[in-house]
Structure 1
Amino acid sequence: MAVYAAAAAVLAGVESRQGSIKGLVYGSRFQNVKQLYALVCETQRYSAVLDAVIASAGLLGAEKKLRPHLAKVLVYELLLGRGFRGGGGRWKPLLERHQARLKAELARLKVHRGVSRNEDLLEVGTRPGPASQVPRFVRVNTLKTCPHDVIDYFKRQGFSYQGRASSLEELRALKGKRFLLDPLLPELLVFPVQTDLHQHPLYQAGHLILQDKASCLPAMLLAPPPGAHVIDACAAPGNKASHLAALLKNQGKIFAFDLDAKRVASMATLLARAGVSCCELAEKDFLAVSPSDQRYCQVQYILLDPSCSGSGMLSRQLEEPGAGTPSQERLRALAGFQQRALCHALTFPSLRRLVYSMCSLCQEENEDVVQEALQQSPGTFRLLPSPPGPIEALALSPVPSTACGPLLRPRSLVASSLLFLNG
């Protein structure tokens, strides 16, 4: 029953604009985050349908103690979900008393709209879109194992390894227990859509990191060598920091900052499971970190992945329909923070390379921020051409250019390339 109450609380929080689904789920302290997130997303997706069925059945009028958000979660589970296989507590018999009426109203709604499947009741904007068609990317954690051993493990489990992917069509054709090696990242495996590896022993042991390809690119582009000192400026939830540690081979130092205490605690758990020993976590605003502090005098690499609108995130299409179009007011506020963070990062005295990572497709958060940073550091950085390959992005290098110079790269353009690659 706890999961239903937790899901109702998250839905209420989203409706009152206390945060996003993902943020509220992770802040709920519910033990099974995956179960809660899935239940909330699906209930939210069918929200209009559930409201119509609940209203037509007169459920809230008949059961005065049943609150609207809890009713929506319970009716979803009864009619469209798992059917209370996960419990239900004292609410299960109550809902079952109204089961016949609720099912009849759902059937009547289908007849009225001329459809036969539950999913056909969804509005176009809430139907599964590109986000539900993206393959499952899995990064092999090279701090604990290697791609060859992981591939061999999956083959022994009955999976069929198809080699390195060479086309988009190969990714689209992935089904069943087949998997590929990503064409760009040698430690990234690609499984069919919606493959669930949360209970897999390699994931639970920290040998695998469930990480989207776009999220893997910033650390790959930063490419710090073993022994380097690195700042991960806005580090939570920690996947990029773990990737940086793997590139460093746990040699050197990562200074990881995040202002939210809960996110820092979650990051500490993730990094410990991944076997990261070179990372120093701090619950601190990166803007308050002094570039003149002697602890950071050897920092030559910075990864800056600040808060953004998320308009380039496919997953947000599923949990927050319409979230891809941020207001101009919000864009201005986000871009202001991003610009301050970027300009601050560029003041670290030993900086040799920086990656600016962005989950947004909005020019205000990308090209405009980069151009402003260039104008505020005249003669220090200049634009570089993109590296060869399927990555289209802006880059910044010091003037004069050197082979290991700073790199500044908005991920919006990288993300748009990945959207193309992933279909």
Structure 2
Amino acid sequence: MVVTQGFCDLTLMVPLIWAELSLPCNVRQLYALVCETQRYSAVLDAVIASAGLLRAEKKLRPHVAKVLVYELLLGQGFQRGGGRWKPLLARHQARLKAELARLKVQRGVSRNEDLLELGSNPGSALQMPRFVRVNTLKTCIDDAIDYLKRQGFSYQGRASSLEDLRALKGKHFLLDPLLPELLVFPSHTDLHEHPLYQAGHLILQDKASCLPAMLLAPPPGAHVIDACAAPGNKTSHLAALLKNQGKIFAFDLDAKRLASMATLLARAGVSCCELAERDFLAVSPSDQRYRQVQYILLDPSCSGSGMVARQLEEPGAGLPSKERLQALAGFQQRALCHALTFPALQRLVYSTCSLCQEENEDVVQEALQKSPGAFRLVPVLPSWPHRGLGTFPGAEHCLRASPETTLTGGFFIAVLERVEVLSSTSPTKTPEQPRTAASALKRKRKRRQKPAACASVRPGM
């Protein structure tokens, strides 16, 4: 039997690990724990490095950190001790779980054991890049790029394809080919301690999560509802699109998540948002405060079946049960139908981080059937490679996302517009963006001046 030097080093530290973690006095169990930790050594090293654990906790020794992270993510969750390090590591629990989830997505596996088989051949694994949205409320894309270049990063310009994103390595980064404020870094880039992130100039947000606000595209001055708003990244994106002009009414029932969201929005410089600890279903469409709401972003609670990180954090990871799917879909259906009753609504984006048809196409189809002729699905991003399931006519206008097809987390997006708004405008208007009276007048003047002029590029065109 071949014993590696790393294994010898870790086993020689058993007495120290025993003392540091206040483990039970069972030598066989302790050696079993150390052996399992060593077996996953490469995986644990990658997770610890990506999460920046040793940089954040300078007194934590690497070998102790490795055993702790194994026990947290792959073992029994500190049922066998943890000592003084247990509360410390609990503070980093969410980030560590998220980084393990990212590693699974990058390597195209679902089980922890599968990481061992791919450990010696990372080149065969799926690589999902790190997406970073530049917060235009605090800076601009050019300034952010210049700052990163001065820190030693190498800017490669705008990407032209997904292959460009897959090929990223080292300290190279690109501008996303679709979103104008989205930077793309290699998968293991850690920016949690970066001063631009700490100051709210950069938002660590997956590309698929950026699409709902971009496709809603509210103009500055608009009134918007973010129906299920926490944790707040999409809300801050809406505020950036609004340039802090107008109003965002953000609702969420979870007081703790709402408090964290308030901190996030303050760091991002958001001043146009009104937070409310309230069930969106209890918000009256006839309330005069919402009489000017023309845009609604609805990203309701879902199974999270497209996001590995959420599966790790919830009991019964994997595909949800039929009963849970029915309960979630029922809530999503009620929320979408309720949103469509707001009298001034022109445009709505419905999104989930679920892969399940029951939470996606089925919800949208039923909502359209309950409001016959009032709203329609808008065809958006025709070049997007992953479309909705063909379960009903028009479902191909919806978007889906996945690590395999778009190098993002699993996601679903549908854009709905009020039919009256579309039918009252010129037949030459494309359906990607609602037309306001001001924009219609502006285009009318342009047609008089130059009949053959092309339409400007808008999100979703």
Superposed pair shares fold, TM > 0.5:
yes
Q: 1:175 Cα deviation (Å)?
A: 1.3
Aligned twin of 2:269: 275
Where do 1:24-423 residues align within 5 Å? 42-47=70-75, 69-71=78-80, 88=85, 122-124=112-114, 133-316=127-310, 323-390=317-384, 392=387, 393-394=397-398, 395-400=415-420, 401-402=422-423
The percent of aligned pairs where both chains have the same amino acid is 74
Structure 1 pair 321/168, CA: closer, same or farther in 2 (3 Å)?
Answer: farther
Q: 1:396 Cα deviation (Å)?
A: 3.0
Task: Provide, for residues 355-395 of structure 1, a one-character-per-residue CA deviation record: whole Å limited to 9, x for no partner.
Answer: 00111111100111011101111110123333332163424
CA RMSD of aligned residues (A): 3.5
Q: Which amino acid aligns with 2:274?
A: E
TM-score of the superposition, structure 2-length normalised? 0.63
Asked whether the equivalents of residues 216 and 240 of structure 1 are also in contact (C-alpha less than 8 Å), the reply is yes
TM-score of the superposition, structure 1-length normalised? 0.68
Task: Provide, for residues 240-286 of structure 1, a one-character-per-residue CA deviation record: whole Å limited to 9, x for no partner.
Answer: 00000000000000000000111111010000000000000000000
**Separation in structure 2 between the aligned mates of residue 140 and residue 200 of structure 1, nearest angstrom:** 13
1:220 match: secondary structure: helix
Q: Which amino acid aligns with 2:339?
A: A
Asked whether the equivalents of residues 133 and 183 of structure 2 are also in contact (C-alpha less than 8 Å), the reply is yes
Query: Which deviates more, 163-172 or 355-364?
Result: 163-172
Asked whether the equivalents of residues 153 and 173 of structure 2 are also in contact (C-alpha less than 8 Å), the reply is yes
Q: Which amino acid aligns with 1:212?
A: D
Task: Provide, for residues 90-115 of structure 1, a one-character-per-residue CA deviation record: whole Å limited to 9, x for no partner.
Answer: xxxxxxxxxxxxxxxxxxxxxxxxxx
Asked whether the equivalents of residues 378 and 432 of structure 2 are also in contact (C-alpha less than 8 Å), the reply is no
2:80 match: secondary structure: helix
Q: 1:176 Cα deviation (Å)?
A: 1.1
Structure 1 pair 152/125, CA: closer, same or farther in 2 (3 Å)?
Answer: closer
Asked whether the equivalents of residues 352 and 404 of structure 1 are also in contact (C-alpha less than 8 Å), the reply is no
Q: Which runs of 4+ in 1 moved over 6 A?
A: 38-41, 125-132, 404-408
Structure 1 pair 214/318, CA: closer, same or farther in 2 (3 Å)?
Answer: same
Structure 1 pair 216/122, CA: closer, same or farther in 2 (3 Å)?
Answer: closer
Aligned twin of 1:107: none
Asked whether the equivalents of residues 140 and 189 of structure 1 are also in contact (C-alpha less than 8 Å), the reply is yes
Asked whether the equivalents of residues 224 and 230 of structure 1 are also in contact (C-alpha less than 8 Å), the reply is yes
Task: Provide, for residues 82-139 of structure 1, a one-character-per-residue CA deviation record: whole Å limited to 9, x for no partner.
Answer: xxxxx649xxxxxxxxxxxxxxxxxxxxxxxxxxxxxxx9522787899983211100
Q: Which amino acid aligns with 1:226?
A: P
1:357 match: secondary structure: strand
1:241 match: secondary structure: helix
Asked whether the equivalents of residues 223 and 247 of structure 2 are also in contact (C-alpha less than 8 Å), the reply is yes
1:149 match: secondary structure: helix
**Separation in structure 2 between the aligned mates of residue 250 and residue 234 of structure 1, nearest angstrom:** 20
Asked whether the equivalents of residues 351 and 406 of structure 1 are also in contact (C-alpha less than 8 Å), the reply is no
**Separation in structure 1 between the aligned mates of residue 160 and residue 314 of structure 2, nearest angstrom:** 33
Q: 1:316 Cα deviation (Å)?
A: 4.0
Q: Which amino acid aligns with 1:185?
A: L
Structure 1 pair 321/296, CA: closer, same or farther in 2 (3 Å)?
Answer: closer
Structure 1 pair 404/336, CA: closer, same or farther in 2 (3 Å)?
Answer: farther
**Separation in structure 1 between the aligned mates of residue 365 and residue 204 of structure 2, nearest angstrom:** 33
Structure 1 pair 73/46, CA: closer, same or farther in 2 (3 Å)?
Answer: farther
2:352 match: secondary structure: coil
Q: Which amino acid aligns with 1:164?
A: R
The unaligned stretches of length 5 or more in structure 2 are 1-20, 23-53, 58-65, 87-110, 388-396, 399-414, 424-428, 435-461
**Separation in structure 2 between the aligned mates of residue 196 and residue 337 of structure 1, nearest angstrom:** 36
Q: 1:334 Cα deviation (Å)?
A: 0.1
Structure 1 pair 155/352, CA: closer, same or farther in 2 (3 Å)?
Answer: same
Structure 1 pair 320/170, CA: closer, same or farther in 2 (3 Å)?
Answer: farther
Aligned twin of 1:114: none
Q: 1:39 Cα deviation (Å)?
A: 9.3
Structure 1 pair 373/40, CA: closer, same or farther in 2 (3 Å)?
Answer: farther
Asked whether the equivalents of residues 380 and 432 of structure 2 are also in contact (C-alpha less than 8 Å), the reply is no
